[in-house]
Structure 1
Amino acid sequence: MTDHRDELIELYALGALPADEAAEVEDYLASDSQAQQRYYEYQQVAQALRWSVEQHEPPEGAYERFRERLAKPSNVVASKPTAKPVKRQSWLASLFGRRYYLIATALTIFLVLLAGLGGRIWQLQNEVASLQPLIAQNQQLTELLAKSGTQLVPLADTGTGMAGGSINIIVNPQTGQSYLSASHLPPLAANQSYQLWLIADGTPQSMEVFDVNTSGDALIWIERLPSTGAENLLGITVEPAGGSQQPTSNPLAVGTIDA
């Protein structure tokens, strides 16, 4: 026998039941998994209705008339049951089923597109974040080039192993700021590093320890220039990883800072 509360599930999904009958349906749903499934289906259709049409209050007395109609016995002669039971379909599902599935399909497509867009946004954010240090360096370099006293110091290969690479230093002795640009330097062993020195009046002072990428390139911003003298040279040596207090090898390249 069909439970009379099955007839109330659709109205409950629409929020059209008084409090006492709503509580009765809630107890029913809590104890019957099939009823829960029907409620879920009606609830989805009810959600689709909110998307599809403008909502209005029902006419006065509509609920009472609907209840009376349900309570009246039917005058239709019952036919013999067919061999296979026909699955009962909700009047809401048959009326709005097509619209609901169209809405569901559209929402699915929208969510797929949104997920793809979100992934692309995340990728662009990562790309922008990776460019921030380079953007900041370029801004520092632009400001350095605009300052009075800034000069370009190309370092000449001494023939001791630079293998066709090049090194240029942009330096401003007044502010102490420098910018190193190295290209195509030979790769070093894991236990070695390149080290830049300022040799002031014959005394070497460390400026920067650096490594190059797989292409042999490096871009290094140097905030502090050591104390200068009457004669100032810049030189690059190969040192143990992490650098040395004093040069331990002959320079690969040297250049002169103009007085």
Structure 2
Amino acid sequence: MTDHRELRELAVQLPLGTLAADDERRVEAHLRGGCAECETAVRGAAEVVDALVAAERPLEPSPALRARILAQAAAEPPAPPVRTRTAPGRLARAAWPLALAASVLVAVALGLEVRALREREAGVRHEIASLERRLAEAAEERDRLAAERDRLAGDRDRLAGELAAREDVLADLTARETRTVALAGTGPAPEASARAYLDPESRRLVLVVYELPPPPPGRAYQLWVIAGGEPLSAGVFELDSSGRARYETTAPPPLGGPVTIAVTLEPAGGVPKPTGPMVLAGT
């Protein structure tokens, strides 16, 4: 039992005058401290006691009746003293208001206790609901972070693969036997340029294109390797939105002698032999 709960139960007994002196001083000191809850309990208990006392208050006689009774009593000789016993019913009638007041005060105390418990229960329910909302928000944040982690892990793996591929290409392009061919724009694409890197041993061909305009609908850019005057197709490639491309393929043999690299504008999908205008070329 907490100190405040004990003081509240003692406070409702204060109007009865049945408290021990120490308890009464404790309650009065507590009330002077400004506890609104206990002050309310004392006022309610006092109202109950006042109502019960008023119900048992005897009726006062009128002044005339009182004067007649006193005059008659003065005229009669004094009677010898007689020991009398109070009737049990009178004692019962005198005691029942106090008993009823005590039971009512107990009920008041229990009512206050129930109200306090309900307030505490409401506070706990509110706190539980708040914690559940926070847990739900934390779960959503956890799921979002897990999805972000998975996305970043995928990006990491993809970039690691691209880096490894770029490192392989760089190693091939910087090898002593790698041949570099500079391509210049011609015909409909004079501003374009490109570089081709060829490894004669592996026949690996990497083409890097700059500032090439997008092909018309239904058309595509096709790469050619011209060795010994014979153009051989090395495939069709696509541009990004900035007019750039990085295209890697295996060049047709042979690559031992002089080689010309060219790009033409052909029907989509490519053709066996060049038919369209040349847009890039270099030897």
Q: TM > 0.5 between the two?
A: yes
Residues 89-100 of structure 1 mapped to structure 2, 5 A cutoff: 97=125, 100=128
Cα pair 1:171 1:179 within 8 Å, conserved: yes
Secondary structure of the equivalent of 1:116? helix
| 1:94–1:250 Cα change, 3 Å | closer
Q: TM-score, normalised by structure 1?
A: 0.57
Q: Could you tell me which residue of structure 1 aligns to residue 233 of structure 2?
A: 206
| 1:132–1:187 Cα change, 3 Å | farther
Q: How big is each residue's C-alpha offset from its partner over 1:49-105, in whole Å with a ceiling of 9 and x where there is no partner?
A: xxxxxxxxxxxxxxxxxxxxxxxxxx99989xxxxxx9x96x9x5695465345324
Structure number, greater radius of gyration: 2
Q: Could you tell me which residue of structure 1 aligns to residue 217 of structure 2?
A: 190
Q: How big is each residue's C-alpha offset from its partner over 1:32-53, in whole Å with a ceiling of 9 and x where there is no partner?
A: xxxxxxxxxxxxxxxxxxxxxx
Q: How big is each residue's C-alpha offset from its partner over 1:133-167, in whole Å with a ceiling of 9 and x where there is no partner?
A: 6434312312212433012211122x301141211
Say whether 1:104 aligns with 2:127.
no
- Count of matched residue pairs: 178
1:231 positional shift:
2.7
Secondary structure of the equivalent of 1:213? coil
Q: Could you tell me which residue of structure 2 aligns to residue 151 of structure 1?
A: 179
Q: What is the alpha-carbon distance in structure 1 between the residues aligned to residue 278 and residue 243 of structure 2?
A: 17
Q: What is the alpha-carbon distance in structure 2 between the residues aligned to residue 106 and residue 144 of structure 1?
A: 56
1:117 positional shift:
1.3
Q: What is the alpha-carbon distance in structure 1 between the residues aligned to residue 161 and residue 263 of structure 2?
A: 24
Q: Could you tell me which residue of structure 2 aligns to residue 116 of structure 1?
A: 144
Cα pair 1:155 1:255 within 8 Å, conserved: yes
Which segments of 5 or more consecutive residues in structure 2 lack a partner in the other structure?
1-102, 109-114
Q: How big is each residue's C-alpha offset from its partner over 1:7-40, in whole Å with a ceiling of 9 and x where there is no partner?
A: xxxxxxxxxxxxxxxxxxxxxxxxxxxxxxxxxx
1:141 paired residue among 148, 151, 169: 169
Q: What is the alpha-carbon distance in structure 2 between the residues aligned to residue 110 and residue 169 of structure 1?
A: 54
1:214 positional shift:
1.8
Q: What is the alpha-carbon distance in structure 2 between the residues aligned to residue 109 and residue 153 of structure 1?
A: 59
Q: How big is each residue's C-alpha offset from its partner over 1:181-239, in whole Å with a ceiling of 9 and x where there is no partner?
A: 11110111221111111111100101121121221111112134432363321111111
Residues 25-36 of structure 1 mapped to structure 2, 5 A cutoff: none
